[in-house]
Amino acid sequence: MKKKIFDNSKILIKIEGKNVNNFLKYLKRFDIQIFKIKYLNYKNAFILINFQDYEKISRIKTTYSLTIEKYYGLLKIKKIILTKKIFLICSFFGILILFFLSNFIFEIEIIHSNNQLRELVKKELYLNDIKPFSFRKKFNELEEIEKKIIDLNKNKIEWIEIVRKGTKYIVKIQERKIGDEKCDDFPRHLVAKKSAIIKKIVFSNGEILKNVEEYVNKNDIIISGNIKINENIVDFVKASGKVFGEVWYNVNVEYPFTYYEEKISKKEKGVFSISFLNNKIFLSTFDKKNKYISKKTVLLRDNILPLYFSFDKYKEVKIIDEVYTVDEAVSKGIELAFKKIDFKLKLNEKILDYKLIEQENKKDKVVLKLFFSVYEDITKYLKIETE
């Protein structure tokens, strides 16, 4: 019965002798199936066979030497179990203990400098069954508790986050600051934030002094807060509105002809593992062919044995390794310059036009200088000093 269990298993054996090729031809007479052959030389070879055929070959090997190099299938599992029996037994009981303990919370740390706020949050957590030596909550349960605590303490708590780290909850709080809002009612001018050609004026209050398509320098008054009668200032108002203008930027960029980048993807995989000495067992499977960056969180560690249970987060790293022509590098450099400008732009702002004004091809890179015209909000307010 034991033999039948392992009949479908395969083994890799090494054959050494006078002429391995003659011996392999001899084996064919005995209906021995050979799945794979790898010759080292005419005296040595590796063959992959069924485990059940190993005894036949052993009986007819004559002067040839046979050595089992590797096991496959159930036989491999059997060998691993036999060689790592103590480790697997310790790991099994360790897993049971760790899984049991990892569902408990032993400590709660509330992070905030205000003692009264910490005590308030501590009581709220206790009422929601978040306390030492209690079962851990699910993620959606924690979110509901966070929302409940904020709703009950709107005047004191702006934001709360409960994060589980191993067998501990870390509670972060942001206190709500309620103060008297000062009214921004002082008289002012609307001025240009930077030199530009005015493209659009959205008027609200004050006296418009500049027109669309008119050039303005930095801090020139566009909408005045002065109220005049016969050229005399009789009063002041709070000038308001929105002004958009065409502004200009010079952007310098460099782009290499050879580009290498290890890009971390957003795709993430969580894996539980047990480590004992230099051995590591993963409790769930993931694709090990790709390159990953790991973030390890130790959930529980044994102070006596070198055994610990951890939850590792793996992120796939996509490798970009490219070589560019001059034209391709220039195109990539222009794209990078656009990104630099675009990064600074706010809502309703946009790039109007660009021009490549200088290009220098070096040995390993291209150096570019570009000119951009940008449609941008140039609104700025300047307080009017009055007596």
pLDDT in tens, 338-373: 999 988 888 789 999 999 999 999 989 999 999 999
The answer to whether position 293 is within a domain reads yes
Distance of alpha carbon 292 from alpha carbon 290, whole angstroms? 6
Last residue of a domain, one of 146, 175, 204: 175
With 0-12 CB in 10 A as exposed, 13-18 as middle and 19+ as buried, what is 370? buried
The answer to whether position 315 is within a domain reads yes
β partners of residue 315: 268, 293
C-beta atoms surrounding 234 within 10 Å? 9
User: Which residues 6+ apart lie within 8 Å of 213 measured at CB?
Assistant: 197, 198, 199
The answer to whether position 136 is within a domain reads yes
First to last CA, the chain: 107
Distance of alpha carbon 178 from alpha carbon 174, whole angstroms? 13
Distance of alpha carbon 52 from alpha carbon 54, whole angstroms? 6
Edge-first strand listing for the sheet containing 107-111: 107-111, 168-175, 157-165
β partners of residue 314: 269, 294
The answer to whether position 90 is within a domain reads no
pLDDT in tens, 23-49: 887 777 777 888 888 888 888 888 888
pTM of structure = 0.44
- Number of domains observed in the structure of the chain: 5
Task: Please check whether residues 236 and 267 belong to one and the same domain.
Answer: no
Look at residue 86 and tell me whether its pLDDT is greater than 50: yes
Average pLDDT (180-186) is 54
Distance of alpha carbon 106 from alpha carbon 121, whole angstroms? 18
pLDDT at 273: 72
Look at residue 88 and tell me whether its pLDDT is greater than 90: no
Average pLDDT (209-224) is 94
pLDDT in tens, 152-177: 888 888 888 888 887 788 888 888 76
pLDDT at 182: 43
The answer to whether position 365 is within a domain reads yes
Task: Please check whether residues 109 and 169 belong to one and the same domain.
Answer: yes
Share of the chain above pLDDT 70, in %: 81
The answer to whether position 95 is within a domain reads no
The domain of 22 spans 2-79
φ/ψ of residue 190, rounded to 5: -100, 120
